[in-house]
Structures are given as C-alpha cells and as structure tokens.
Amino acid sequence: MSDSAVRITLHPAFRKGPVDRRLFGSFVEHLGRAVYTGIYEPDHPTADPHGFRRDVADLTRELGVSMVRYPGGNFVSNYVWEDGVGPVEDRKPFLDLAWRTVEPNLVGTDEFLQWAEREGIEPMMAVNLGTRGVAAAAALVEYCNGEAGTRWADLRIANGREKPYGVRLWCLGNEMDGPWQIGHKDAHEYGKLAAEAGKAMKLVDPSISLVVCGSSSMQMPTFGEWERTVLSYTYDLVDHVSMHAYYEEVDGDRGSFLASGTAMDRFVERVVASADAVGAQRRSDKKITISFDEWNVWYLETRFPGEQNLPIQRDAPRIIEDVYSGLDAVVVGDLLVTLLNHADRVPVACLAQLVNVIAPIMTEPGGEAWRQPTFHPFATTARLARGEALDLRVATPSYTTAKHGEVPVVTAAGTVGDDGAAALFLTNRSSEPVEVAVDHLGSALAVTEGWRMLADHGAAVEGPEHAARVAEKCWGAVDVATAVRRDGATTTVRLEPESWTALAGTLTPA
C-alpha cells in the first residue's frame, strides 16, 4: 500500500465521551476451573489466608481488571444464593444444571465479594431469573447492601460481615432469550419478570443500577424484536441492556476472523438503534447504555461439544480451556478498539472469562499461573486508555470478507486525558505492512512508547510453553525511533501485517 493509503485525522477537541473504567471488566462464573483452582485454591503455595491464589490476584491486577461479574453466566439461572452463604462446613454440594458439574459450594457471595474488595475490584452481581424470581432477587440485594435490622441484612451480619458491601451494578438474569438457559423465557415473560424484580430490588436499594438481558448474539432469531419487547417493559427502570458476543476463526477464514471488530461494531449500532427507538416511542430523553458483559474469542463451533453433551463431573473439570494464538490476540485488540470507539454508549464490558475458561490467565492446580497471548492487548489498553475517547476520522481501503462483506483494512481508536496523556490503538488486518499518516490538527503528538502484537500461523498447543513462545515471537515493544516518523502536524506510523499496535505519548496544543 502507498504511504497515503491510510490517513487518520485527529483533533483533540473532537471526542466521543469518557472512557469508563468499567469498560475493562471481566467475569468469574462457577464453570470449569474459573473459581476452583482458578481464583481459589486453599492448598496452593501462594494462597492467602482466605484461600485465594495470590499469583492469580497479582496477574489480575497487572491485567488492569476494574470490575468482575459474578456468579454467572448460565450458572446463575439455577443458583440458590442462600445455599452459598453461612458456615462453609454446613453448605451442601449441588448439581449445577448449566454445566453439569457438582458444585462444592465452598465459594459463594461473601467469599467473592470480600475477594473483590481486597483486590480493589468492583463487583457486578447477577440474580437468578431462570428458576427463581422477585423475592429471591430483592433478598440478595438486601443481604449485600442492607443495614442492620432486617432479615437478610442481619443474616449477613450473623455470617461475619457487619458492613454492607454496597454492590451497585446488578444483572437481571443471564441470556434469558437462549433456549439453552435454565428457565428460558420469551421476551414478554422475561420483560414482565425483569420489571417486577428490578422494581423490588430498587425498593430495597434505590442507588443500584440494573442491566436487563439483551440478545445472546446478533444471530439469535429474536434479535431486535427481543430488545424492543423487553425494553418496552423495563425502559424506565433499567440503566443498561446487555450484549454478548464471541468470535472465532471458522474453516480457515482468516479474513473474516480478523474483521470480528466490524461485526461487533454493527452489533453495537443495531442494539443502540433498537434501544433509542423504544425511547423515541416513549418520548423519553433517557438514553439506555450497553453493558457488553460477555465478549471474547471462543472456539465455540470447533472445540466445544455443547453443554448437553457434557458428562456430569466433579472436582472443577477442565471445560472450555481454549489456548490462544497471536492471531487471537490481534483480534482481541481489535475488539477493544471497537469498544473504545463506542465509549459514549458502552460504559461497561466484561472479557469472559478471567481465569482458565476462555481466559487471559491460566493456572495449573498446585502450580504456576501464566499469561495467555490475549492478556497483553487487554492489559496494555487498560493501562494506556485514559480520559476521553477521541472521535477519529479514518480513511482506509477496504477488503471483502465472506462473513461480513466489505470491511476496513485499518481500524483505530484514541484517548486523551486532561493532562495531555494520549494513546492510539491501531489494527492492520491486511497481510501486508501499512503506513498510516496521522494528521493531528492544531496539536502536537509526541509518541514515547509503543507495543505490538503480531498474528501467527502456528497451531495452538497446550501449556505455558506455548504462551511463552507466542509472547516471544508475537509480542513486544515497538521501536518508536524507526516505526514512527513526525513531520510537522503529521505523524506516520508503520503497521506490520496482521497486527495490533498501541502507541502512547502526549497530545498538546500546537
């Protein structure tokens, strides 16, 4: 491509909105080894006095996770939260119908919330609207947030926690549009139940924010109509509508996989349009925002047999432990670009999940913890993206994909803080290097730091050795002196083939 093939226009006054720190959330579900031998392993050499792995907590902090959603996921739709509080020795194991696993019940609401508090992580709690309903949801809010003198708050105090947890963000169930969900409902059934549960929860604590279930994917046959119907019941009550999406390379279609960010972008725009249409019909000035509380690369079609085919298992079985490549990590970086470019309407997002299950962090029981390739773009974006998202103008060629049609070759997002600290995040989906000219009108851009993830072509294999090899081959610092050139109000950046690049520096008035 020629030097002028890709051009980005940047002006510090043109901004989309604040980058909410909750955009860098994650997810811990009672699924596989996400909890047991994931965040929690009392016999591990690094375990803290509460039984939680210190090595995993350290990596979680390095990852930059601001918020964690709990306890599910599909798990929550069959969960009786009362059975998971109180003395551990009195709790009974139960069969989780979602993942066909015997849940030992060693970690529940108190253990999770206290872990999150110790680690400085905001909790995002989900209530069971599959097999349960209004009373149980309101009781859980009272247990978590209530003051002394009521039934459920006093139970929390009796269980050793006097101070309320103050959980602010609550999910009204999970993927209730999915036939796989225990207690699946149609849009009218769910909309009515969510409205009544949310009303009761807010009567317990008016300060909480609510997330209502949107479509489990854009491919759901009820997509669009689901959002319209559910929001017709809940619009005045809820704050966010959820979105879930997973992406994978299918049948070697590398071009479509690299363009997954375009699919996410279209999904966001369509959900926003659906929500705004309901608001317009109600003549409401309120804007429903999006909680993209499940997103990641997940080889759902090619590596996962389906929940119904899982045997009943015990002892934290190894389920959905995808091993990632450099290519997967480039796509994760590009998905983060998309989320930043929708900062005005997507304040909340959760990379699913945190540990072992399609996760950036992997562990071995009794052994080490390590970073998957996808760890690096997430951690770098969480560290560098501060302040407000810039409204960039990207002029780029496109290419044709089998799955998404015409898509841009280069995508970009940018952020700037009040102190002038700035960052640019760029993806080159092409198999050729690209020179990108960044015109920073009325301002001076000084690039001082850069990081890059390169796609690879090798098959993923098990173990930390694979992650280490990918990191050595695909991940590293950018030599700013050679990759970035400045000529007055234009800075030119060289992007390697099939790569994701993060640049940081300062943006100051010229």
CB atoms near residue 225 (< 10 Å): 13
Angle between helices 54-63 and 375-384 (to 10 degrees): 60
Catalytic residue among 103, 249, 294, 388: 294
Report how far residue 364's alpha carbon sits from residue 208's, in angstroms, rounded to the nearest whole number: 37
Q: Which one-letter DSSP state was computed for residue 35?
A: T
Report how far residue 76's alpha carbon sits from residue 185's, in angstroms, rounded to the nearest whole number: 15
Q: For 317, phi and psi rounded to 5 degrees?
A: -65, 160
Residues 6+ apart with CB under 8 A from 36: 104, 106, 107, 315, 316
Report how far residue 361's alpha carbon sits from residue 353's, in angstroms, rounded to the nearest whole number: 9
Report how far residue 290's alpha carbon sits from residue 345's, in angstroms, rounded to the nearest whole number: 6
Helices (H), 294-374: 300-303, 326-341
Residues 6+ apart with CB under 8 A from 166: 144, 145
Report how far residue 130's alpha carbon sits from residue 133's, in angstroms, rounded to the nearest whole number: 7
Catalytic annotation present for 111: no
Catalytic annotation present for 294: yes
Catalytic residue among 29, 41, 111, 175: 175
Q: Report the catalytic residues.
A: 175, 294
